[in-house]
Structure 1
Amino acid sequence: MFVKGERSASDLEQDVDRKGRQVLELVELKPGMVVADILGGGGYYSELIAEKIAPYGRVYLHNNQAYLPHVGKEVAARLKDNRLENVIRHDRETGDLAFIDQSLDMIFFILGYHDIYHVDKNWKIDRDDFIRQLKTALKPGGQLLIIDHSAPDGSGTKYSQDLHRIDKAYVIGELKQKGFKLIKESDLLVNDKDSREISPFHPDIRRKTDRFILLFQK
């Protein structure tokens, strides 16, 4: 149960391994900023961001139709009765994110970058266009925060389809090629005990994967 002004028991439990507040300390969120939480799932990060940019800032909690069957109930509960007044539900397909050009101060893309390399009958993303949309939506100097499950070094996107992981160096190279500048890395979520070769949903490693944190600037 979500209560206005209080975070859920589930979110507080996730804090232990996701370290959301510590992650937010790595970026310079300020009151009044406009932020997008891309493929933001149930909104764990959206709520933390909303607190930082209140009272006049806005967070767009984005999901697409493929995500909603898994997270829709959590999103609805989180936002019920206008509980988070500055969080806007933004259900859009990745081919048309519908953000105004140069309208966002920051984009959070948490544990989803590998999904742009996932392909099945109900899911295929035009990667170049998707990244272009993110870049176009950011203001000059705007920032893009990427957190994802680490794949073995040098593996590129080999593990993205089945194991929901991606090689950090590959992400850096791709986004640099698209015109982003890497301005910060953090080992806050590193876990050397993770083999990086099993699914993040495996009970032995769930929410304890080795994760990289990268901050880029437009």
Structure 2
Amino acid sequence: MRKAVSAAVITLLASSVAYAAPLENYISSAMTAPIRQSDRADDTRRHGAEIAALAEIKPGEQVADFLPGGGYWTRIFSGIVGPEGKVLDIWPAGMVTPGSKGEIRMKVLVGAPGTENVAAAPDDLFVVIDHVAAPGTGLSETNTLHRIDPEVAKKAILNTGFTLKSESKLLSNPKDDHHLKVFDPAIRGKTDQFIFVFIKPEL
């Protein structure tokens, strides 16, 4: 069984680029599920359906959502994989200490009505989406502008044993000059982003 992970490390924003291929019925059904009613306003901006299609997630598979936040991706993945599949939400221990906001979010997502197939466990394939920093800046702007040089991110993951399966310009925005903080009103929702899909080869 192929496994997948969404690494939603930074708030996921999107450009207005459209995905060309038609969506499978199971993706369309997942996007219109009642549990996603409050998420739908963000679908055009975040390209949820298109990114799920890019990752080739299918019914019955295991998918892990790393740092699921409010659960936008978890709910999409849950609907796609269906009752025969499983969504594994990964929360670093420091973010889900007793009484923390992260713990509350985790409890809401795990096994809730409409997401009964959601649990917490590790996995070994990543769909990485993050905000682009200017070339050569490395990690220097992760804490200031919340951006990262895509080549640095790619190299770090490859060095852990993963293999790059594919990458996409779906969320790219050439009008972003990479010098504003991603939450700046002038660029928020329109940042230049990269998408990498990694797999970890079987040993």
Give the TM-score of the pair, scaled to structure 1: 0.67
Query: What are the equivalent positions in structure 2 for 1:34-53 lying under 5 Å apart?
Result: 34-53=62-81
Q: Does structure 1 retain, via aligned residues, the 8 Å contact 2:132–2:147?
A: yes
Task: Indicate whether 1:82 and 2:113 are aligned.
Answer: yes
- Alignment-derived partner of residue 63 in structure 1: 91
Task: Indicate whether 1:31 and 2:63 are aligned.
Answer: no
Give CA deviations for 1:103-155 in whole Å, capped at 9, x if unaligned. Answer: x4xxxxxxxxxxxxxxxxxxxxxxxxxxxxxxxxx2xxxx3211101111121
One-letter amino acid of the counterpart of residue 153, structure 2: V
- Higher mean alpha-carbon deviation, 160-169 vs 200-209, is at 200-209
Task: Indicate whether 1:174 and 2:177 are aligned.
Answer: no
Give CA deviations for 1:73-93 in whole Å, capped at 9, x if unaligned. Answer: 6555556852311112x3xxx
Query: What are the equivalent positions in structure 2 for 1:133-148 lying under 5 Å apart?
Result: 138=124, 143-148=125-130
CA 1:148–1:81 in 2, change beyond 3 Å: closer, same or farther? closer
CA 1:174–1:76 in 2, change beyond 3 Å: closer, same or farther? closer
Higher relative contact order, chain-length normalized (CA < 8 Å, sep 6+): 2
One-letter amino acid of the counterpart of residue 158, structure 1: S
CA 1:7–1:82 in 2, change beyond 3 Å: closer, same or farther? closer
Q: Number of aligned pairs?
A: 166
Q: Does structure 2 retain, via aligned residues, the 8 Å contact 1:41–1:67?
A: no
Q: Does structure 1 retain, via aligned residues, the 8 Å contact 2:130–2:148?
A: yes
CA 1:201–1:66 in 2, change beyond 3 Å: closer, same or farther? farther
1:183 aligned residue (148, 154, 165): 165
- Alignment-derived partner of residue 25 in structure 2: none
One-letter amino acid of the counterpart of residue 186, structure 1: S
How big is the shift at 1:208? 1.9
Give percent identity, aligned residues only: 34
How far apart, in 2, do the equivalents of 1:161 and 1:78 lie?
A: 28
Give the TM-score of the pair, scaled to structure 2: 0.71
Task: Indicate whether 1:151 and 2:136 are aligned.
Answer: no
How far apart, in 1, do the equivalents of 2:189 and 2:91 lie?
A: 20
Task: Give the alignment's Cα RMSD to 1 decimal.
Answer: 2.5
Q: Does structure 1 retain, via aligned residues, the 8 Å contact 2:109–2:118?
A: no
CA 1:22–1:203 in 2, change beyond 3 Å: closer, same or farther? same
1:205 aligned residue (187, 190, 193): 187
Q: Quick check: which one's helix share is greater?
A: 1
Q: Does structure 2 retain, via aligned residues, the 8 Å contact 1:43–1:61?
A: no
How far apart, in 2, do the equivalents of 1:179 and 1:78 lie?
A: 30
- Structure 2's unaligned 5+ residue stretches are 1-31
